[in-house]
Amino acid sequence: MSTETIIWLLPLPPLLAFFIIILFTNKGKSLSHCIAVIAAALSWLGSMVVFVRALGVEHFGKEVFQSSINWLPTGNTWLKIGVLIDPLSAITIFFVAWTVLMIFVYSVGYHNYGQPKGDHDRKGLPPHGATIIDENGHSHTVPSIEPMYSRFFAFIGLFAFGMYTLVVSDNLLTMFVGWEIMGLCSYLLIGFWFGKPSARNAAVKAFMTTRIGDVFMLLGIAFVYYATKSLSFRDILNEHTLSVLSSTTTPILGLSAAGLISLLLFIGTIGKSAQFPLHVWLPDAMEGPTPVSAMIHAATMVSAGVYTVIRMFPLISAGFDGYHLTTTMSIIAFIGAFTALFAATIAVAQNDIKRVLAYSTISQLGFMIAALGMGAYVAAVFHLVTHAFFKALLFLGSGSVIHGMEHGVLHTGDHSVDPQDMFNMGGLRKKMPITFWTFLIGGFALSGFPVLTAGFWSKDEILADAFGNGHFVIFLTLAIAAFLTAFYTMRQITLTFLGTPRTKSAEHAHETPWTMTLPLVILSVFAIGFGWVGIPDKFPLLGGILPNWFHEFVGGTLAEAPEVLPFNFMPLLTSLVVALGGLLVGWFVYRNVRSAAEDKLQFKLLKNKYYFDEIYDLLFVKPAYWFAETFAYKFLDQTIIDGFINRIGGVAQSIGTGFRRYFDAPVVNGFGDFLGESTKRIGRKMAPIIQRGRIQYYMVTSLTVAIIVVVLYFFFKA
């Protein structure tokens, strides 16, 4: 098969899996997961083939894989849709394929495949566990299989379809389609356990919040089409169009057309990648099953947001001279850096193992956005890829921990223990060794543990770019954020795995099945190894041993390959200090903490996420409810519209009644009745006179009438 054909087919298997599971195999749990995993594996295989073939092309940035078809006629031209694999999407499809496949396999174990049906499990609630009696007659409570097992696989299949569509698209339109499919799936999956009110609310919140971004993004797409008469990346992102766009001015903020478009598209990313101020949905999205958290927060949806801005980078940087940031870029860099620091501070005070990861995701995405805002294109892509691997690893690891804890909770029967609260854990390294080691690798990668882990290389590159280009404020902000990242990551590892168990449930935690640990092991390989493809050439000692393949490959996407910055010890030293320092401090502070009360950093402000939910509630949600209830419903609908309609109805009714009473009943009915009655009366009176039964009377009558008729006829004829 030609490479282009494979690319066209990439998104197809998960979509087919979705339909097959929904329509036919919903009843069969093993059949459903087989179909889903096979579909993911097919897409994975196709992606790997495409990736390997892309590696084989010299100067791949110039000779990309692309193909398109005419889709919608627009006057004399066609709106084209098609696929495009350039270095950026090739590298994206690489990590998407891996993480998606791992998450699919992991989900089999996470949803307790092979376990008995729950005693009183209901659809829409997490499984409560089943009681089994072993051969010795002892009864045990063990995890039970998810009641909506097949549905989960159908949904993540659709989700994977959305992501593949987005990545292989060569135009903003189909990209937006994939984007919205993922929005829908994230809603469905966050609200997967719809029996829980918190999950329902989180689903609605995620959907509504990202929708705000999407509206702006759609505006941006409309503006692109208006300005360039095309939505294809190749048409928009060429030098000529870009120079036209950057020299066109718009009335808003004195931005150029390019600046305004990128700002609008970037607002879409703010929503999707949970950047400040639309970050509020992501922590709540933890209500979904953990594979979903990994899917949304690592591999796909949030990456899609960053991928979009990276994809539009030539547009964003149009008019950028390499030193002075454009207005749009400054905004992007500011939001990214601010989010990175802001989310990191919140993560420090969270006790839910998944929420810490959620805030760290927001923070890391901030790093990428900030890098992009500074023009550090390659560093942003690099961090996107490494982050996808280690964050998927961390989320799946946390899911494994929760799963092990749930096992302990079921074993002890003490349901007051929250299996997600880190202060209920501790000492899990002995109970769950594979999870521990892989989580440690993921955590160290997130912290940027020097040299060994992928996170170090990508984060170091961002810091180096910030420093090298003279953006000291951003550099400082990101450095502090990186310190906090290492700190809360070590806090998490210490509280979860080190020390001694704090609860009985933690004592009875159990390592998870191979379907869950295998993805962890594979992802941890990437969490370490993927950093080595992007080691800067000038790096002391290590530089040059492996070529800086990543920079060359991804840099080729841009028309002018970005220069490699001269090496500087300052950012390297900084990243070493913040990573190691953060890890050490984190371990030192939390090694003996026994309960949440002993934690000195449980500030109310951080605990409550700077009260953003409350502020938004007051500023937007309450007014919206007020508007809906008081204005739209009570005033507009009930008073004005209903009032108007009721008044019209009333008037029509009284007119009708009037007609009936004064015209229909007396005139029409009266006349008709009168006619009928008089005919009847005449008939009654006449019958004895003219109908006597005597034939000759009848004949005389007939004759008389005939004569009268004839006389009248001739009389009137004349």
Partner 1 sequence: MSIPLSWYLILSAALFSIGLFGVLARKNAVAILLGIELMLNAVNINLVSFWRYGNIASISGQVFAIIVFAVAAAEVAVGLALIISVYRRRTTVIANDLDLLKW
133 versus 695: smaller Cβ distance to partner 1: 695
Min. distance of Cβ 699 from partner 1 in angstroms? 6
CB of 669 to partner 1, least distance (A): 29
Residue type, 393: L
SS3 of residue 253 by DSSP: coil
Report how far Cα 501 is from the mean position of its chain's Cα atoms. Answer: 36
Only one of the segments 203-211, 509-517, 698-706, 709-717 lies at the binding site for partner 1 (rule: CB under 8 A); that segment is 698-706
In whole angstroms, the minimum distance from the beta carbon of 663 to partner 1 comes to: 38
- Phi, psi angles (nearest 5°) of residue 573: -60, -45
Q: How far is the CB of 694 from partner 1 (least distance, A)?
A: 5
Of 631 and 697, the one with the shorter C-beta distance to partner 1 is 697
Nearest to 513 by CA among 457, 432, 596, 581: 432
Can you read off the two tokens belonging to residue 586? 């984190």
Q: Within positions 84 to 103, which residues make up the interface with partner 1, using CB under 8 A? A: none
Q: Compare residues 667 and 700 and give the one whose CB is closer to partner 1.
A: 700
Smallest gap from residue 667 Cβ to partner 1 (A): 34
Q: CB nearer to partner 1: give 137 or 693.
A: 693
State the minimum distance, in angstroms, from the CB of residue 710 to partner 1. 14
Most distant pair of Cα atoms in the chain: their distance: 143
Kindly state the tokens that stand for 504.
């009985």
- 555 in Cβ contact with 378 (< 8 Å): yes
Residue 570 is encoded by which pair of tokens?
Answer: 């300052």
By CB under 8 A, name the one of 473, 703, 709, 710 that touches partner 1. 703
Token pair recorded at residue 138: 């002892």
Nearer to partner 1, 624 or 703 (CB): 703
Please report whether residue 704 would count as binding partner 1 according to CB under 8 A: no
Rounded to the nearest whole angstrom, what is the least distance from the CB of residue 688 to partner 1 in the complex?
Answer: 8
Smallest distance from partner 1 to CB 706, Å: 11
Write out the two tokens for 683: 């008939």
Nearest residue (CB) to partner 1, 131 versus 704: 704
Residues 417-446 that bind partner 1 (CB under 8 A): none
* Sole window of 127-135, 554-562, 575-583, 696-704 interacting with partner 1 (rule: CB under 8 A): 696-704
Helical packing angle, 301-311 and 353-373, nearest 10° = 0
Contacts of residue 145, Cβ cutoff 8 Å, sequence gap at least 6: 29, 111, 112, 113, 114, 115, 116, 117, 118, 127
Q: Is the dihedral of CA 8, 11, 17, 23 positive or negative?
A: negative
Task: In angstroms, give the least distance from the CB of 677 to partner 1.
Answer: 19
CB of 685 to partner 1, least distance (A): 12
Give the Cβ contact number of residue 648 at 10 Å. Answer: 10
- The two tokens of residue 111 are 């949803």
Among residues 671 and 697, whose Cβ is nearest to partner 1?
697
- DSSP character string of 398-455: HHHHHHHHHHHHHHHT-TTS-TTBGGG---HHHH-HHHHHHHHHHHHHHHT-TTTSHH
Nearer to partner 1, 72 or 710 (CB): 710
Q: Rounded to the nearest 10 degrees, how much is the dihedral formed by the CA atoms of 707, 712, 714, 716? A: 180
Residue with tokens 């002993």: 598
Q: What share of the chain is helix, strand, coil (3-state, %, to 5)?
A: 70, 5, 25
> What is the closest distance, in whole angstroms, from the C-beta atom of residue 666 to partner 1 in the complex?
34
Judged by CB under 8 A, does residue 665 bind partner 1?
no
Nearer to partner 1, 655 or 707 (CB): 707
Q: Are 86 and 57 in contact (CB under 8 A)?
A: no
Q: Which residues of 110-128 are buried (b: 16+ CB within 10 A; e: fewer)?
A: bbbbebeebeebeeebbbb
CB of 703 to partner 1, least distance (A): 7
When asked if residue 696 is in the footprint of partner 1 (CB under 8 A), the reply is: yes
Least spacing, CB of residue 664 vs partner 1, in Å: 35
x/- letters, 676..695, toward partner 1 (CB under 8 A): -----------xx--xxxxx
Phi/psi for 563 (5° steps) reads -75, 150
> CA torsion 250→255→258→259, rounded to 10°?
-150
- Residue 679 CB, nearest approach to partner 1 (Å): 15
Which of 695/718 has CB closer to partner 1? 695
Whether the CB-CB separation of 511 and 505 falls below 8 Å is answered with: no
Closer CB to partner 1, residue 665 or residue 687? 687
Partnered with residue 130 across adjacent β-strands are: 142
* Residues 272, 302 contacting (CB under 8 angstroms): yes
Q: Which of 253, 700, 711, 712 binds partner 1 (CB under 8 A)?
A: 700
Burial 323-360 (b: 16+ CB within 10 A, else e): eebbebbebbbbbbbbbbbbbbbbbbbbbbbbbbbbbb
Closest CA to 304 of 428, 213, 227: 213
In sequence order, what are the beta bridge partners of 72? 79
DSSP line for 90-125: HHHHHHHHHHHHHHHHHHHHHTTTTSPPPSS--TTS
Q: Which is nearer to partner 1, 646 or 679 (CB)?
A: 679
| List 38, 573, 699, 711, residue binding partner 1 (CB under 8 A) | 699
Count of residues binding partner 1 (CB under 8 A)? 11
For residues 660 and 692, which CB has a smaller minimum distance to partner 1 in the complex?
A: 692
Q: Which is nearer to partner 1, 644 or 698 (CB)?
A: 698
Site for partner 1 in 442-471 (CB under 8 A): none
- Nearest residue (CB) to partner 1, 615 versus 687: 687
CA 378 to chain centre: 24
In angstroms, the first-to-last Cα distance of the chain is: 101
Q: How far is the CB of 681 from partner 1 (least distance, A)?
A: 15
Question: Which CB atom, from 322 or from 683, has the smaller least distance to partner 1?
Answer: 683
Smallest separation (angstroms) from partner 1 to the CB of 647: 59
Positions touching partner 1 (CB under 8 A) are 687-688, 691-696, 699-700, 703
